[in-house]
Chains A and B, each alone.
Chain A
Amino acid sequence: MDIFVQQVMSGLATGGIYASLALALVMIYQATDVVNFAQGEMAMFATYLSWSMLNAGMPYWGAFIATLVAAFLGGIVIQRVIIRPVENKPILTIVIVTLGLLVICNSLAGWIWTYLQKPFPSPFPREPIRVGSVVFGAHDLGEIAVTLVMLALLFVFFRFTPLGLAMRAAAQNPASSRLAGIRVSWMLALGWGLAAAFGAVAGLMVAPILTLDPNMMGGIQIYAFAAATLGGFTSPLGAVVGGFLVGIVENLVGTYVSFIGTELKLTVALAMIIVVLLVKPSGLFGRAHQRRV
């Protein structure tokens, strides 16, 4: 039982990472019907930025904030410069452009910071926390806390601020929003910025566990896809729930199903994606996609 509780906790911890990245994917998908295949690599790049800041002697939380701001601005610039010209093109075009972005981020990071793995500090204490006979990693608990705080901030932003309302309106009905005086195109750019910042949180939280290298996010991204698919690409709440669920399933399957272990982890994610897409393509919380023919 102790093992079970422990596995669920660490599942929640990794689930928080998936949730952050999945939320980033969903934010962009909701507003523009695009899945950003470069989301993970953008997060990795942001994490490298923060590594450089830490190396230059900045305190952890200072670098944390600075990285989020940099990622936010970077996301806006990418949307304005790279994505906007192909906004109304066929999906294939946009997917190819985000794939281009993926390989550029990956190779630039390798170019600037080399492909050697780098240790990345965790802001949380090293000592594990004991509750009864169950041991929790402090980093795990910290991760969950950071994810929940970010979620709360996001909820407040979208629910209670005029700007958040404008962004939601722009995503839901661009034409009417434009008539109501909302600058829809800039709202999309803001969405990309916020998504990039969220992705960066995922990167910063996962780097201490996996150690930093340019291919760090590949596995995380496939899990984030699984999370977003499970929760439904049209539902932010779904992305979060999906993230935590996927994290727990991953850990439990890895522990209790002996033939899978850690070696087939990515295949589990792949199987989850395919099963969800076949059984319930709109996910747990998503709107079913209807189209007039």
Chain B
Amino acid sequence: MSRRASLVLAIVVIAIAACLPLFVSGFRLFQFTQVCIYAIACMGLNLLTGYNGQFSLGHGAFYAVGAYASAIMMDRWAIAYGWTIPVAGVLCLVVGFLFGRPALRLEGLYLALATFSLALAVPQILKYFEHWTGGSQGLVLSKPKAPWGLPMSEDTWLYYVTLFVTVIMFVLAANLVKGRVGRALVAIRDNHIAAETMGVNSALFKSVTFGVSAAYTGVAGALSAVAIAYVAPDSFNVFLSITLLIGIVIGGLGSIWGNVLGALFIQFVPNWAQDISKAAPWAIFGIFLIVFMYVMPYGIAGALKLLWIRTVSSRVPRQGGETVSPRVPTPSA
């Protein structure tokens, strides 16, 4: 897709999102807030897995760190929620970087193992530091009101705050990916030896990517703490990490837009599936995971891109019999 086309698309999507509170309210609007939050978290995971080719099955851990950082700052020190979000992001940047350093030595499956174990252990760790985290009871917060006497409900205000943060995070990520850094990340993913020969500092890029990825997910976690006004250890279990992974698989590995599609999927599909049975959402998630890996490994965004290229290339005559294939990422171990 050309640069202008994606800019137009971005503006249209943001305009629709900004007008949304005119049409939906209450719980439905809260769900869209959640979509924005998931989109940021998926963006973080996608930077790591989709663009840089590093596994993480434990990003729920960073989501939890962000959420608890924000909640503790609000609850213990009465810091305004707006400040807790960037602080949570920076904290996760540091934590992610520190986790990313040793993770450099772990390739492919071993990194998957370590992060998966991290995801399994998170609720226990949270419960252990009861003094800070409130144990299994969690922390109850209060929802922020709209400032400056704006005539809107708490949910509407929160929606706009979240949307604002989402747009900023997406612009940052899009710029990051398009530039020199993005090319370095993809080069490391596709062939790290070749990348190093070209002068890319693979170790530094990989651990910084881990940090940035964790920061995105941490910001999402902080926003979720603000929006839900409650944090409890058992909501940060291994299934949260898998949910984020499902988001990027369905949306599209190595795609910016895919994260929005993935976030919509993980937010709304369980809601509909819940009507069938309590267990149905996860059965459906599992089936989608497997089917997507068979038929569209680059998610909805990848499939759309392919479709776009096919339609464009059928109009434009190919030069020199060169086959036009989409630049889809090849995740390698």
Chain A residue nearest in CB terms to B294 = A85
Q: Could you say which of A90, A108, A222 contacts B120, with CB atoms under 8 Å apart?
A: A222
Known A100-B289, A107-B286, A111-B277: A266·B113 in contact at CB below 8 Å: no
Chain A residue nearest in CB terms to B253 = A92
How many residues on A have C-beta within 8 angstroms of the other chain's C-beta atoms? 47
Provide the main secondary structure of the chain B interface. helix
Q: Could you say which of B102, B113, B125 contacts A267, with CB atoms under 8 Å apart?
A: B125
Within 8 A of B (CB), among A78-110: 82, 85-86, 89-93, 95-97, 99-104, 106-108, 110
Residue among A92, A101, A104 with the highest chain B CB neighbour number at 10 A: A92
Chain A nearest Cβ from B2, distance in angstroms? 29
Q: Would you give the 0/1 interface string for B24-59, flagging 1 where the beta carbon is closer than 8 Å to chain A?
A: 000000000000000000000000010001010100
Q: Is A54 among interface residues, defined by CB-CB distance under 8 A?
A: no
- Complex CA gap A86/B290 in Å reads 10
Residues of A within 8 A of B287 (CB): 100, 104
Known A107-B280, A108-B279, A263-B128: A100·B117 in contact at CB below 8 Å: no
Q: Could you say which of A37, A101, A264 contacts B116, with CB atoms under 8 Å apart?
A: A37
- Complex CA gap A265/B117 in Å reads 12
Chain A nearest Cβ from B64, distance in angstroms? 14
Say whether A278 contacts B120, CB under 8 Å: no
Segment of A56-64, A138-146, A269-277 in the binding face: A269-277
Say whether A97 contacts B280, CB under 8 Å: no
Residues of B within 8 A of A274 (CB): 102, 114, 117
Residues of A within 8 A of B120 (CB): 218-219, 221-222, 266, 270
Residues of B within 8 A of A180 (CB): none
Say whether A90 contacts B110, CB under 8 Å: no
Q: Is A281 among interface residues, defined by CB-CB distance under 8 A?
A: yes
What are 22 residue pairs bridging A and B, where the CB atoms are less than 8 Å apart in the complex?
Answer: A37-B116, A86-B293, A90-B333, A91-B108, A92-B49, A100-B288, A100-B293, A102-B286, A107-B279, A107-B281, A107-B286, A110-B278, A111-B278, A115-B278, A219-B120, A264-B124, A269-B117, A270-B121, A273-B114, A274-B102, A278-B105, A281-B106
